[in-house]
Structure 1
Amino acid sequence: MISSLARLTVRAWAATLLAACALLPLVESTLWMLQAALLLGVQAGVGAAARRVPLARPLTVAAQVVVTLVLLTLMFAREHAVAGLIPGPDALRFFGQLLEQGGQDVNRYAIPAPLSDGIRLMLVGGVLVIGLLVDMLAVTFRSAAPAGLPLLALYSVAAGLTDNGIEWLWFLLAAAGYLMLLLAEGRDRLSQWGRVFAGPPRGRSRETPGAPAPARFGHRIGVVALGIALVAPLALPAMDGGLLDPNGRGVGAGVGGGGTISAVNPLVSLRDSLNNDDDRAVFSVRTEMENTSDLYLRIVSLDDFDGT
C-alpha cells in the first residue's frame, strides 16, 4: 500500500514535469527533459527519505537543496568542483558563466534554439527549482494549493515565449498535473477523517472498483473543469486592438487616415526577419517624390549609442 506522503511526492514530481512540457518548443532537442526528470526524481526521493526519518521540515528542504547543487555540479561543472563533487567557488563561478552564456544564446537564436550548455542549465536548473518549491509546499508543508503558484510561473514563462498553435495542449498538461496534486492532497485529508463509506450495496455496480466514491467524484469534477477551461475561451468575445491587443497594435488615424501604429522590438523583429526564408510583403510606402534612392524608413533610434 502506497503511503499518502509517497503518493503526494509522486504527484508533485509529475505535476512539475507536466508543467515543464510547455518549455519543449523552445529548444530543438528534448534531451534536457529526460535529464530534468531524472534529477527531479532524485531530488524528490531525498525529500521522501528525509520525511520518513523524520527530519524537521527546514532540514528536509536544506537536504534537497544540497543534493540539487551536487547533482547540477556533477552534470555541468564536475571539472571545476572540489573532488569532482562538491560545488566550490570555481564551480559557482562556472555556473555564473554558463548562465551568462545561456542568456546570450537566448537573445541570439530564434525559437527553437539549439540546446547549448547555457540553455540546458537554465532549463534543467529552472525545473529543479520549481520542483523543489512544489515538493516543499505540497508534501513537506502539506499544502498543495499554493504549489500551483510556482507551476503557474513555469507555465507562464513558456507560454509567453512560444506561439506554435498548440498552447492548449501545454495548458491541459499543466492543469492536469495540478489537479492530480490537489486530488491526492484531498484524498489524504479525507482519509484522516476515518473510513469513507460509499453507501449501501446496490447489487451490481458499474463504478470503478477500488476507488472510494469521493475520489471518483473528484476525478469527474477535475475532468469537467478542464473541459470548461478549454472550451470557455472559444465562446467569450475577443478584444482586438487597443492596449489589450497582445501584439501591441492600436488603431489610429495616422497620415492619410485608417493607418495602424505598431510597437516594434527592433532586435526581435530583425532576428525574425533574418530567420524567415519566405518572400513576403512587410509594408508598402506611397510618396510623390520621383527620386527615392536617398529615402530611408527609420523604425527606431538610439539616444545613447556606445559603438556596440
Structure 2
Amino acid sequence: MSGRIRLTLAAWGATLLAACALLPLVRPATWLMQAAFLLAVQAGVGAAARRVPLPRFVTVAAQLLVTLFLLTLVFAREHAFAGLIPGPEAIRFFAELLESGGNDVSRYAIPAPLSDGIRLMLVGGVLVIGLLVDTLAVTFRSAAPAGLPLLALYSVAAGLSDGGSDWLWFLLAAAGYLMLLLAEGRDRLSQWGRVFSGATRGPGGEPGATAPVRTGRRIGMVALGIALVVPLALPAMDGGLLDPAGSGVGRGGGGGGTISAVNPLVSLRDSLNVNEDRQVMS
C-alpha cells in the first residue's frame, strides 16, 4: 500500500472517529453509516485525482463537486436534473431542509429524532470536515493543521452533549488524529529510504533503537493515557480525585465550605418557562 493511500485511509478514519462524538445527540445513529459511505466516495475521488495526477486545486474542486452531487442524490434527487445535478429548485429545497433542521434542533431535547433536516446537517457537516481534513493532510501533505477541523467537529459535539461519556468520544477523536499524524510521519520517513521494523542489536548484544514507527505509536499511547488521567487529578468546581467531596480548604465565611455553580443556560431556560410576569432587570 502506498503512502498516499495509507494517508487517505487515515484521514477518512480520523474524520469518522471525530464524528462519533455526535452519536449521543441524535437517535437512531444510522446517519453515521451513510456519512461513512459518502465520505469514502469523496476520499476515493481525491485519491484517483492525485494518482493522475491533477493539480491540487483541481483535485479539491473535483471532490467538492462530487460531494455536491452526492448530497443532491441522497437528499434532493426529486428536485434535481437527472436526479444528480442541482438546480435552483434543489438549492431552494436544501435551504428549506436546513431551516427545518435548525428548528428541530431547537425544538427537541437530546437525543433528538433523526429528521431529514438534522440528517442533512450531520451528513453534510461530516463531509465538509472530511474534505478539509483530506485536503490538508493528503493533498497538501500537512497533517498537523488537519487537527483544527477535527477539533471543531469534536468541540461542537462536546458542547451540546450532557457529558455522560465525554472521555470515550475524546479518546476516539484523539486516537484518530494520532493515527493521521503517524501515517504522515511514516510516509515522510519512507521517502528517506527503507524502514526496518525489527529491533537491532548493538556491538555488546544489547538491543538497539526500535523502529521509528513503533516508537511513535508508543508515544501516542502514552500521550492519550496522560490526557485521560491528568484531568481527573486536577481540582475543579465539582471536585476531582484530589477533592471528591467538593469541600475547600480556604478560609471562607460559608457554612459548609461547598461551591455551587449554576449553568447560565439552564437558568435562562427556567426563567423563560415561568408562566407569570415578573421583573428581572431594572
Which band: TM-score by shorter chain? 0.7 to 0.9
Alpha-carbon distance in 2 for matches of 1:45, 1:299: 60
Matches within 5 A, 1:88-107: 88-107=87-106
* Paired position in structure 1 for 2:4: 5
Give 1:36's aligned amino acid: A
Unaligned runs of 5+ in 1: 242-252, 274-294, 304-308
* Paired position in structure 2 for 1:237: 235
CA shift, 1:259, in A, is: 11
Alpha-carbon distance in 1 for matches of 2:6, 2:17: 16
Q: Structure 1 residues 261 and 62, CA, compared in 2 at 3 Å: closer, same or farther?
A: closer
Alpha-carbon distance in 1 for matches of 2:132, 2:280: 41
User: Residue deviations 1:85-118, cap 9 Å, x none?
Assistant: 1011111111010000000000000000000000
User: Residue deviations 1:121-142, cap 9 Å, x none?
Assistant: 0000000000000000000000
Structure 1 stretch 82-91 or stretch 34-43: which is displaced more?
Answer: 82-91
User: Residue deviations 1:134-190, cap 9 Å, x none?
Assistant: 000000000000000000000000000001421000000000000000000001111
Q: Determine if the alignment matches structure 1 residue 27 to structure 2 residue 26.
A: yes
Alpha-carbon distance in 1 for matches of 2:279, 2:151: 35
Give 1:107's aligned amino acid: S
User: Residue deviations 1:213-260, cap 9 Å, x none?
Assistant: 11111110000000000000011121469xxxxxxxxxxx9xxxx997
CA shift, 1:200, in A, is: 3.7
Aligned length: 257
Are the aligned partners of 1:134 and 1:147 in contact in 2 as well (CA < 8 Å)?
Answer: yes
Alpha-carbon distance in 1 for matches of 2:265, 2:37: 41
Q: Determine if the alignment matches structure 1 residue 117 to structure 2 residue 137.
A: no
Alpha-carbon distance in 2 for matches of 1:82, 1:97: 18
* Paired position in structure 1 for 2:160: 161
Are the aligned partners of 2:237 and 2:259 in contact in 1 as well (CA < 8 Å)?
Answer: no
Q: Structure 1 residues 129 and 232, CA, compared in 2 at 3 Å: closer, same or farther?
A: same
* Paired position in structure 2 for 1:226: 224
Alpha-carbon distance in 2 for matches of 1:36, 1:299: 48
CA shift, 1:195, in A, is: 2.3
Give 1:58's aligned amino acid: F
* Paired position in structure 2 for 1:148: 147
Alpha-carbon distance in 2 for matches of 1:37, 1:299: 51
SS in 1 for 2:81: coil
Alpha-carbon distance in 2 for matches of 1:77, 1:83: 11
* Paired position in structure 1 for 2:64: 65
SS in 2 for 1:59: helix
Are the aligned partners of 1:266 and 1:300 in contact in 2 as well (CA < 8 Å)?
Answer: no
* Paired position in structure 1 for 2:214: 216
User: TM-score w.r.t. structure 1 length?
Assistant: 0.77
Alpha-carbon distance in 1 for matches of 2:261, 2:14: 41
Give 1:223's aligned amino acid: M
CA RMSD of aligned residues (A): 2.9
* Paired position in structure 2 for 1:53: 52
Alpha-carbon distance in 2 for matches of 1:32, 1:11: 21
Higher share of residues assigned helix: 2
Alpha-carbon distance in 1 for matches of 2:108, 2:271: 12
Q: Determine if the alignment matches structure 1 residue 40 to structure 2 residue 39.
A: yes
CA shift, 1:298, in A, is: 3.8
* Paired position in structure 2 for 1:250: none
Q: Determine if the alignment matches structure 1 residue 76 to structure 2 residue 75.
A: yes
Give 2:29's aligned amino acid: T
Q: Structure 1 residues 85 and 259, CA, compared in 2 at 3 Å: closer, same or farther?
A: closer
Are the aligned partners of 2:237 and 2:261 in contact in 1 as well (CA < 8 Å)?
Answer: no
Alpha-carbon distance in 1 for matches of 2:60, 2:102: 28
User: TM-score w.r.t. structure 2 length?
Assistant: 0.84
Larger Rg: 1
Q: Structure 1 residues 195 and 259, CA, compared in 2 at 3 Å: closer, same or farther?
A: closer
CA shift, 1:192, in A, is: 1.1
Unaligned runs of 5+ in 2: 240-252
Q: Structure 1 residues 268 and 110, CA, compared in 2 at 3 Å: closer, same or farther?
A: farther
